[in-house]
């Protein structure tokens, strides 16, 4: 029995001694012995989505044309006055109605770089008027009037001062110093006062019947 036990122990020792080198070899094995994992195939990059085409730019709406005769910015009309409208401007300025006058001349002319209507008319008492009207703005550029009835002569009943004040009353804002010419004369057997007022860029020439105070002539033009 003792021999059998000693044999078993000897075999056990020999087995233990044989296992130690194997364990050392296993402990020396490095990560390099481990097979590298296979890499997964790269995911294909998706193709870029094409950019959407830009929407077409809408055309601008057309600018509506101004109505005929309408005034543009700054007060300038974009269409020319008709001859009938020019006549109405002249009559309104003279304080007359169409039924009380007869037009003897009406036409369109070009003067100082602008178109003007030249109008002449007379009343049933034969008073005569001449007007120049701007064909676009309707502005009265100049006008002239002459009394149609002869006045009786005789001594003057109006003084020079009264005649001056009467003339200045037709030019708003003008004063005595704006009268450049003034005098007394005889015309067709009657006494008259004649003169010129220069004010506000215009010249006003006048002739006044000294016996009645009536304006025989009144002429307005742009000052030189």
CA distance 162 to 177: 15
On the question of a common fold for 74-149 and 152-224, the answer reads yes
pTM score, two decimals? 0.40
* Residues lower than pLDDT 50 in the chain: 21-32, 38-40, 63-75, 149-154, 156
CA distance 39 to 21: 35
Q: DSSP secondary structure string, 138-149?
A: --EEEEEEE--S
Please give the CATH topology (third level) of the domain spanning 74-149.
Answer: Nuclear Transport Factor 2; Chain: A, (3.10.450)
CA distance 85 to 93: 13
What per-residue confidence (pLDDT) applies to 51?
53
The residue ranges of every structural domain in the chain are 74-149, 152-224
What per-residue confidence (pLDDT) applies to 161?
87
pLDDT tens, position by position, 67-118? 444 444 444 556 889 999 999 999 999 888 878 888 888 888 888 889 999 9
What class has domain 152-224?
Answer: alpha beta
Pair type for strands 140-146 and 190-199: unpaired
What per-residue confidence (pLDDT) applies to 148?
57
What per-residue confidence (pLDDT) applies to 11?
64
Rounding to the nearest 10 degrees, give the CA dihedral for residues 141, 66, 88, 221.
Answer: 0
CB 101 within 8 A of CB 95: no
């Amino acid at each position: 029995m003792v021999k059998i036990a000693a044999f078993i122990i000897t075999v056990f020792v020999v087995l233990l001694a044989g296992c130690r080198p194997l364990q050392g070899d296993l402990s020396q094995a490095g990560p390099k012995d481990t097979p590298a994992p296979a890499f997964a195939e790269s995911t294909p990059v998706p193709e870029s989505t094409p950019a959407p085409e830009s929407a077409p730019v809408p055309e601008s709406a057309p600018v509506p044309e101004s109505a005929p005769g309408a005034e543009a910015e700054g007060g300038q009309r974009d269409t020319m006055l008709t001859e009938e409208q020019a006549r109405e401007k002249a009559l309104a300025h003279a304080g007359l109605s169409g039924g009380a006058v007869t037009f003897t001349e009406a036409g369109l002319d070009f003067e100082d770089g602008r178109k003007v209507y030249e109008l002449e008319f007379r009343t049933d008492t034969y008073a005569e008027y001449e007007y120049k009207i701007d064909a676009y703005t309707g502005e009265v550029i100049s006008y002239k009037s002459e009394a149609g009835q002869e006045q009786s002569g005789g001594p003057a009943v109006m003084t020079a001062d009264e005649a001056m004040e009467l003339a200045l009353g037709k030019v708003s804002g003008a004063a005595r110093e704006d009268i450049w010419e003034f005098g007394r004369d005889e015309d067709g057997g009657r006494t008259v006062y004649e003169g010129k007022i220069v004010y506000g860029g215009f010249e006003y020439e006048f002739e006044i019947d000294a016996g009645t105070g009536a304006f025989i002539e009144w002429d307005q033009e742009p000052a030189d």
